[in-house]
């Protein structure tokens, strides 16, 4: 099983700042099949990024994904008030596993 480790656990930012979230895999993710989701309290997760860098339909371009192999990054160029949430990475190259999440909170 591929284990995904996200860092940091919590990111404290002010609106307008840049957010950089990391996701490390215990082994190389086949075809860079790595996705990112956003989850707000009491709601289901929402798909943001697939295949490491492809934005899902309707996702603002301030969200971008990068990386390959075992190291992946989600960047929010300028955090908006609605972006404060928990973010999960997920690999789907070998079965499907999720990271433990990074909480982006208001500083």
Partner 1 sequence: EVQLVESGGGLVQPGGSLRLSCAASGFTFSTLWMSWVRQAPGKGLEWVANIKGDGTEIYYADSVKGRFAISRDNAKNSLYLQMNSLRVDDTAVYYCTTDEWHGIFPSWGQGTRVTVSS
Q: Which residues bind partner 1 (CB under 8 A)?
A: 1, 31, 33, 35, 37, 44-47, 50-51, 56, 88, 90, 92, 95-101
**Shortest CB 63 distance to partner 1, Å:** 15
How many C-beta atoms surround the C-beta of residue 47 within 10 A? 15
Taking the complex as a whole, how short is the minimal distance between the CB of residue 15 and partner 1, in angstroms? 26
Strand partners, 19: 76
Between residues 58 and 81, which has the closer beta carbon with respect to partner 1?
A: 58
Question: Token match 């499907």: residue?
Answer: 96
* CA 48 – CA 65 distance, rounded (Å): 9
What is the closest distance, in whole angstroms, from the C-beta atom of residue 13 to partner 1 in the complex?
21
Quick one: 17 or 54, whose CB is closer to partner 1? 54
Q: Closest approach of Cβ 3 to partner 1, in Å? A: 12
CA distances (Å), 100 to each of 5, 11, 47, 85, 92, in order? 7, 14, 16, 13, 15
């Amino acid at each position: 099983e591929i284990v995904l480790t996200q860092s940091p656990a919590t990111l404290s930012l002010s609106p307008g700042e840049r957010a950089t979230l990391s996701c490390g895999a215990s082994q190389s993710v086949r075809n860079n099949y790595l996705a990112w989701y956003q989850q707000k309290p009491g709601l289901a997760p929402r798909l943001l990024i697939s295949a490491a860098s492809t934005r899902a339909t309707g996702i603002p371009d301030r969200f971008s994904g990068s990386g390959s192999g075992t190291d992946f990054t989600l960047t929010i160029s300028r955090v908006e008030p609605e972006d404060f949430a928990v973010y999960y990475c997920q690999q789907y190259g070998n079965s499907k596993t999720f990271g433990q999440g990074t909480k982006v909170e208001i500083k």
